[in-house]
């Protein structure tokens, strides 16, 4: 008899997981898996202690924020069980990168999923699965009202972005990659990413891989607003890497210092103030996936 902990966010996305919970428990029961549900906000100490009792799977049902909370417990345990992601949030970038696009499709094929050991990023004392970001628009994920996200889905983020347009400004930063200073000046935002899809933008970091032992840095440099919006449109079409206002590099360690007022974000959760030290943690997390990212 196998055992699992199911961490679920009942208000993620459109609140669909709350409706799907009984069906999820039924699927696990049919597979002879005893499941213990834990509701978010997650008590990380409780999950940490449960893992010590011997768990075969940890299932995270929600968006990237829910997965972020679970991962920060798993990564601190020796030999943790594999993570299973049920994409139920407004943003499901991590699940998309794992080839798990549908909430209902994961558990029925649980025994067919393959184990894959992935890299994680570490910013200060917090792990991240997708992105560590700072600057313009990076606080949208935790500023948008949950009811608005439930009603409008991803469109709620776009509305918040439009509402923030009058506050557009740049921030002074100094960025070093693998011990070498690569930028010192004003920027709109920076992103340190672990996967190709971030913020539902496919191939934002086209050279990124969750298994290569590297993180990818994107810096949107200070420029005129018309040039910035032109760069934003290039992002939508995947033609942004040749833009002179974008810096794109790969590395294993990053040091970022700058204005303490810069908003920061880790996987959609509010991040700590700068300065930051960010590093890759190679092959840190085992997940179940249907396709290799």
**Domain-wise residue ranges, the chain:** 2-112, 127-283
Q: What is the pLDDT of residue 140?
A: 52
pLDDT in tens, 187-205: 999 999 998 777 667 778 8
Question: 283 pLDDT exceeds 90?
Answer: yes
Helix (H, G, I), strand (E, B) or coil at 70: helix
Query: Which helix (H) or strand (E) segment is 187 a member of?
Result: strand 180-193
- Alpha helix segments (H runs only) across 52-92: 64-74
Q: Which residues are catalytically annotated?
A: 269
**DSSP code for 240:** -
- 142 near 222, Cβ under 8 Å? no
- Topology of the domain covering 2-112: Rossmann fold (3.40.50)
Confidence of residue 17 (pLDDT cuts 50, 70, 90): confident
Please tell me whether the peptide bond between 275 and the residue prior to it is cis, using omega within 30 degrees of 0: yes
pTM for this predicted structure: 0.86
Q: Which residues contact 150 (CB under 8 A, 6 or more apart)?
A: 11, 13, 14, 15
Q: Which residues contact 96 (CB under 8 A, 6 or more apart)?
A: 87, 197
pLDDT in tens, 22-80: 999 999 999 999 999 999 988 889 999 999 888 999 999 998 889 999 999 999 998 89
Which residue, among 218, 206, 216, has the nearest Cα to 245 in the 3D structure? 218
Question: 103 pLDDT exceeds 90?
Answer: no
- Alpha helix segments (H runs only) across the chain: 16-30, 44-51, 64-74, 93-97, 140-143, 146-152, 155-163, 225-237
Q: How far apart are CA 251 and CA 188, in angstroms?
A: 21
- Topology of the domain covering 127-283: Tumour Suppressor Smad4 (2.60.200)
């Amino acid at each position: 008899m196998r055992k699992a902990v199911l961490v679920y966010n009942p208000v993620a996305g459109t609140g669909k997981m709350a409706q799907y919970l009984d069906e999820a428990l039924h699927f696990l029961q049919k597979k002879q898996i005893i499941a213990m549900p834990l509701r978010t906000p997650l008590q990380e100490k409780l999950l940490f202690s449960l893992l010590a009792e011997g768990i075969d799977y940890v299932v995270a049902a929600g968006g990237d924020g829910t997965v972020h909370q679970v991962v920060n417990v798993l990564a601190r345990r020796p030999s943790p069980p594999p993570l299973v992601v049920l994409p139920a949030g407004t943003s499901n970038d991590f699940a998309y990168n794992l080839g798990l696009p549908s909430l209902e499709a994961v558990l029925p094929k649980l025994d067919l999923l393959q184990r894959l050991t992935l890299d994680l990023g570490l910013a200060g004392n917090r792990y991240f699965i997708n992105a560590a970001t700072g600057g313009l628009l990076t606080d949208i994920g935790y500023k948008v009202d949950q009811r608005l996200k439930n009603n409008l889905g991803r469109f709620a983020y776009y509305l918040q972005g439009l509402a923030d347009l009058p506050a557009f400004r740049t921030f002074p930063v100094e960025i070093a990659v693998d011990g070498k200073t690569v930028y010192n000046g004003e920027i709109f935002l920076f992103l340190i990413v672990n996967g190709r899809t971030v913020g539902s933008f496919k191939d934002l970091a086209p050279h990124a891989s969750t298994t290569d032992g590297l993180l990818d840095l994107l810096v949107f440099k200070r420029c005129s607003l018309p040039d910035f919006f032109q760069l934003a449109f290039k992002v939508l079409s995947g033609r942004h890497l040749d833009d002179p206002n974008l810096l794109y590099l790969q590395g294993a360690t990053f040091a970022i210092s700058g204005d303490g007022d810069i908003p920061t974000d880790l996987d959609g959760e509010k991040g700590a103030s700068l300065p930051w030290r960010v590093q890759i943690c190679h092959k840190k997390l085992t997940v179940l996936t249907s396709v290799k990212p």
